[in-house]
Amino acid sequence: MHSVSYLQYIPLFPLLGALLCAVLGPRLKPAAVGALATVMVGASFAVSVAAFFEVRSGHQALQTVLYTWNALGGLTVDVGFLFDQLSAVMALVVTGVSTLIHLYSIGYIAHDRSPWRFFSYLNLFVFSMALLILGNNLLVMFVGWEGVGLCSYLLIGFWYDGWMKEPGGQRGMANSVAGMKAFVVNRIGDFGFLLAIFLIVVTFLPKVADGRVLDFAVLRALMEGGIPSGIGLGIITTICLLLFVGATGKSAQLPLYVWLPDAMAGPTPVSALIHAATMVTAGVYMVARMSFFYIQSPTAQLVVAGVGAATALFAATIGLVQRDIKKVLAYSTVSQLGYMFIGVGMCAYSAGVFHLTTHAFFKALLFLGAGSVIHGMHEEQDIYRMGGLKKYMPLTYWTFLVATIAIAGIWPFAGFFSKDEILWQAFNYHNEVFPEAGRVIWAVGLTGALLTAFYMFRLVALTFWGPERFHEVLHGKHPHESPWTMTLPLTVLAVLSFGAGWLAMPHIWGPNLFHHWLEPAVAALPPVGGHHSGPGLEWGLMILSMGIAGLGIASAMGFYRQDAPLPTRMKAAFPGLYRVLYQKYYVDELYDTAVIRPLVSVSRGFLWKFFDVNVIDGTVNGLASAVRLCGMALRRLQTGLVHTYAYFIVLGALAFVFYVMMMLSKGL
């Protein structure tokens, strides 16, 4: 580990930006605030690039310890940053994509009431995210983890007095409610994360001499030669599962995914940055960061990969029928996060993190494209009221198409490489607890890929192709292409979505650079003997998944080509299925009935009306008046007369002497 003195600048610049935007912002022009925020994040990107090259040339991780946060009780925590191969990938993706999205936001948010508030929050988010990915121990990571949660809440409810629009035009959920929902659901996950931290401290503190038990390097060294003696596998599995509870909250996996679709209430750049490219991948990053725990526990691997696979399929089916352009993308994000968890769950960390990287590019691009469409369509989000936009917004269309092909997994776009690597690893994965797990997950993943290709091309077909259905909404106005600050990021991201895949070629084609890069930073499973699959099989599986994707695309194009009657007929043929999917399996309703409503009614009827009013308020008010009475009585003693005071001194002295002497005489 090499010590350097500049890593703190990666989080520091955005923090400074957030403060400056908050203090000076109201007096500056919107464009100036935006430029300031963008420059700050850009500076942080530049530092990350410099650090990346130093890691590359030195072949070792960098570390900066700012100071030691000394807590009593044996626990020592450094406020320090770690820049190893894994955090390098995250830092480049986060700061890079953030810079592009900040640039995009300048145009997007220009006409808002308070752009400075927007940029201040956005910079604060980058600061927290940098803490999360660069922290060299679990506590700094947790501070960042909470920070991004807070920023997410603030930004979802950015238009706090507004409502979401349901397709069809009626009022949906209030933005502030969507923010609260995200915050509360995340809190459930955070609770798991906290418990995991506590459990780690309790379990490992006796084994660490200097108390730096939350430090990643220390923990990794402890786990290097297998589980240390005296600690059971059960504890390790529990730690892994509790950490994963945190991950399901932040990364929107079953059963805590429900907040993400509603998080679309926030401005679209926020959806692109926080709810697609960066924050929601924090759970994936955390599992990869704690890889040395996960490789020890087959049960935990099975749970992570299983939940990932289930989420991937489940969310994809919901995405098939949604009408709101951002909702489709939101479910797609949930589904793709599922793929990442399949990867990291099976200890194929480079595959999972690589999918995280490519997904950051193409999903950010899709959201920014959607934002451009919404901007051009004067805030309309219902894809049934779009169509034919290709003609009006060519650049948006072409970049959107690139991202769509990438996410569908067509060679040679980036998504093909990353998704195929995950499926290939799944096919070869061997789990002691459930040996067939790999094949099952592979099959589920492949089905998900079919659905992904279908719903994405449905989205393109309904938005950009076909007849123009927007005339009644726009009242004669025309959709327009967005300004260059918005289309430039689209272009850059399109190039990345197209070309980034070559960094991780399947090994039958050439070196997997990404895998080699990440190798020192993550733990690896020992190779399983007698499980060699030939290149023929790998070729076969690749062609199969391409074929599946092609099938999805072809059927989407067939279904939604100009005025095809097929979707309507399908809807009529299976009305029940359609409704279940459109209503998202009624999960929100289920949670509402099973959890929220009982909770609210108990809180309101018992906790508030009875317990709070009578018991707590009664106690507090009673105590307060008792305290006040005591105070009044004591105040009487303060007569202002010197001799009273002297009496008290004498009385106190006498009591003191008397007590001690009495006790002494008893003892003697």
Q: List interacting residues with another protein (CB under 8 A).
A: 67-70, 72-73, 627-628, 630-632, 634-635, 637-638, 640, 642, 644-646, 648-649, 651-653, 656-657, 659-661, 663-664, 667
What minimum distance in Å lies between the beta carbon of 26 and another protein?
15
What minimum distance in Å lies between the beta carbon of 8 and another protein?
14
Q: How many helices (H) and strands (E) does the chain have?
A: 28, 5
What minimum distance in Å lies between the beta carbon of 143 and another protein?
12
Choose between 532 and 643: whose C-beta lies nearer to another protein: 643
What minimum distance in Å lies between the beta carbon of 632 and another protein?
7
Choose between 67 and 536: whose C-beta lies nearer to another protein: 67
What minimum distance in Å lies between the beta carbon of 640 and another protein?
6
Choose between 113 and 636: whose C-beta lies nearer to another protein: 636
Choose between 67 and 229: whose C-beta lies nearer to another protein: 67
Q: At what angle do helices 484-499 and 394-408 cross, to 10 degrees?
A: 30
Place of tokens 């989205």: 459
Choose between 202 and 627: whose C-beta lies nearer to another protein: 627
Choose between 229 and 638: whose C-beta lies nearer to another protein: 638
Place of tokens 């999917």: 581
Q: How many CA atoms lie within 13 A of 493 on its CB side?
A: 39
Choose between 69 and 578: whose C-beta lies nearer to another protein: 69
Choose between 72 and 573: whose C-beta lies nearer to another protein: 72
Choose between 221 and 651: whose C-beta lies nearer to another protein: 651
What minimum distance in Å lies between the beta carbon of 221 and another protein?
24
Q: At what angle do helices 437-464 and 394-408 cross, to 10 degrees?
A: 160
The residue type at 357: T
What minimum distance in Å lies between the beta carbon of 647 and another protein?
9
The residue type at 301: Q
Choose between 3 and 68: whose C-beta lies nearer to another protein: 68
Q: Are 155 and 142 in contact (CB under 8 A)?
A: no
Place of tokens 């626990």: 75
Look at the alpha carbons of 424, 431, 518, 368 in this order and tell me if their dihedral is positive or negative.
positive
What is the rounded CA–CA span in Å between residue 545 and residue 450?
A: 8
Look at the alpha carbons of 419, 138, 93, 65 in this order and tell me if their dihedral is positive or negative.
negative
Q: Buried b vs exposed e over 58-90: b needs ≥16 C-beta within 10 Å?
A: eeebbbbbeeeeeeeeebbbbbbbbbbbbbbbb
Q: Buried b vs exposed e over 560-585: b needs ≥16 C-beta within 10 Å?
A: beeeeeeeeeeeeeeeeebeebeebe
Choose between 573 and 664: whose C-beta lies nearer to another protein: 664
What minimum distance in Å lies between the beta carbon of 124 and another protein?
17
Q: Buried b vs exposed e over 95-125: b needs ≥16 C-beta within 10 Å?
A: bbbbbbbbbbbbbbbeeeeebbbbbbbbbbb
What minimum distance in Å lies between the beta carbon of 68 and another protein?
5
What minimum distance in Å lies between the beta carbon of 128 and another protein?
16
Residue 444 CB contacts under 8 Å (≥ 6 apart), including other chains: 309, 310, 312, 313
What minimum distance in Å lies between the beta carbon of 636 and another protein?
10
What is the rounded CA–CA span in Å between residue 397 and residue 383?
A: 14
What is the rounded CA–CA span in Å between residue 629 and residue 635?
A: 10
